[in-house]
Chain A
């Protein structure tokens, strides 16, 4: 949806903002805010051309574009293993999964564009290093078992995060999330299956699976974001019905699910402090290295430079395709015009 560009045919067109007197603009803002508040109170949805507080627009734009960037960069750790997948079946599955990640990125850019930001500008921000993306994709995928651990834990954490986002107050974001969530469950199951097969294989294969789980566990938990008392924007996002649960709530819930599932795998989680707190009825986990998290976010993780370099390279290598397609479209349009004049 690119509703910013849609033409409007109102009964009485409302003038553009810059054409309004300060009083009219103030009145419109007040009316807009009142309507926005009503939508929030009713837990209804805001659509692209509705009035919205500038901070709401900015927050969404940041969140949705970061989410899109994460999907696009997220293709890399797995694309890295396509040529080395252990069977043709696994290769086909991995290719479908990486293609899905590209699709998810595009759904999300499409949703972000309805807020008035062109996709090209977002891409530029990603490639220049100005925009952020999920810290998880700056860790290397060292072995084939990492494909299993990424699918099971990283996509698992993403699902736990994204399911509540299907009810986000901004319509296009929620709708994109519904589509994404439907597709993610295949990602998680195929990852689980990879680990299950390895853990029932040779002792070396089982060890490889355990090693992958050990390395991805803490980074996956940190995908939910900093602890609640260190997450200043969460409260506002929850008031705006963008976020439905706090970072820690989602993280604790996720730990509980992992705890059950890891038993089926015959593996263990590298955290001896996991326990179910009978009083709070919540799962708890051991300490996480938040210093590392902030370092990775700040661009100093193991693979940050490599990921961005690869993204720039892919963009540059694709330039001729974009140019050729545009030239072809122009030529076709000219031919069509000539035919019409001749007729």
Chain B
């Protein structure tokens, strides 16, 4: 993994931490930490976020490498599913009472 450049004043970059709590589940965002490189970020993440067996696997990602949707675009960006109830099973009511459907 590429390591982001240390910020001004030799401050360690921020890494976002994702923890898989047990086999079969997705990694979930747990928080962040500072570390000089990926190996240290993983070690720190283990010490900080899995002191009580909270995880079986950890991802660390440089915070700068994450792209996110614009918070101001709340409505517009997620507009597409609006009015498309037919994407949900509950839209189809005529089959009510039919078994195994």
Contact pattern, B 1-44, Cβ under 8 Å of A = 1, otherwise 0: 01100100111101010000000000001011111110010000
- Evaluate contact between B32 and A14: CB separation under 8 angstroms: no
List the B side residues contacting A96 at CB < 8 Å: 51
**B92 in the interface (beta carbon within 8 A):** no
State the CA gap A106–B30 with chains docked (Å): 12
Which stretch of A245-253, A298-306, A325-333 is in the interface? A325-333
Is the CB–CB distance between B63 and A329 below 8 Å? Answer: no
B68 in contact with A9 (CB, 8 Å) = yes
Residues of A near B6 (CB, < 8 A) are: 326, 329-330
Residue of A nearest to B3 (CB): A333
Report the Cα distance A156→B32, complex, angstroms. Answer: 27
* A binding-site residues for B, Cβ under 8 Å: 1-3, 5-14, 28, 35, 47, 49-51, 96, 99-100, 103, 106-107, 110-111, 113, 118-120, 175-176, 179, 183, 322-323, 325-326, 328-330, 332-333, 336
Known A1-B29, A329-B6, A333-B3; judge A9-B37 contact (CB<8 A): no
B96 at the interface (CB under 8 A from A): no
Is there a chain A Cβ closer than 8 Å to B98's Cβ? no
The secondary-structure label for the interface of chain A is helix
Q: Tell me which residues across on chain A come within 8 A of B93, comparing CB atoms.
A: none
A151 to B14, CA, bound (A): 32
Total interface residues on B, using CB and 8 Å? 35
A6 adjacent to B63 (CB under 8 Å)? yes
A-B contact pairs, 25 of them (CB 8 A): A1-B16, A2-B14, A7-B66, A8-B68, A9-B69, A10-B69, A10-B73, A11-B76, A12-B76, A13-B70, A35-B74, A99-B51, A103-B47, A103-B48, A110-B33, A118-B11, A183-B52, A322-B10, A322-B12, A323-B10, A325-B12, A325-B36, A326-B6, A326-B12, A329-B6
**Most chain A beta-carbon neighbours within 10 Å: one of B31, B68, B74:** B31
Which residues of the other chain, B, contact A100 by a CB distance below 8 angstroms?
51
B43-101 contacts to A (CB < 8 Å): 47-48, 51-52, 63-64, 66-74, 76-77
Of the candidates B10, B14, B47, B77, the one whose C-beta lies within 8 Å of that of A5 is: B14
The tally of CB-CB contacts under 8 A between chains A and B is 105
CA distance A136 to B66 in the complex (A): 40
Contacting residue for A10 out of B35, B63, B77, CB 8 A: B77
Cα–Cα, bound, A332→B69 (Å): 33
Return the contact of A332 from the options B37, B51, B66, B71 (Cβ within 8 A): B37
10 nearest A-B pairs in the assembled complex, by CB-CB distance: A10-B70, A329-B36, A329-B37, A2-B63, A2-B14, A49-B71, A325-B36, A14-B72, A10-B73, A110-B32
Q: Are A106 and B33 in contact (CB under 8 A)?
A: yes
Residue of A with least CB distance to B75: A35
Q: Using Cβ atoms and an 8 Å threshold, which residues of chain B touch A1? A: 16, 29, 31-32, 63
B residues near A14, Cβ cutoff 8 Å: 70, 72-73
Which among A100, A110, A322 has the greatest number of chain B C-beta atoms within 10 A? A110
Contacts of A107 in B (CB 8 A): 31, 48
Q: Specify the chain A residue showing the minimal Cβ separation from B52.
A: A183
| CB-based contact B34/A119 at 8 Å | yes
Do A113 and B32 have beta carbons less than 8 Å apart? yes
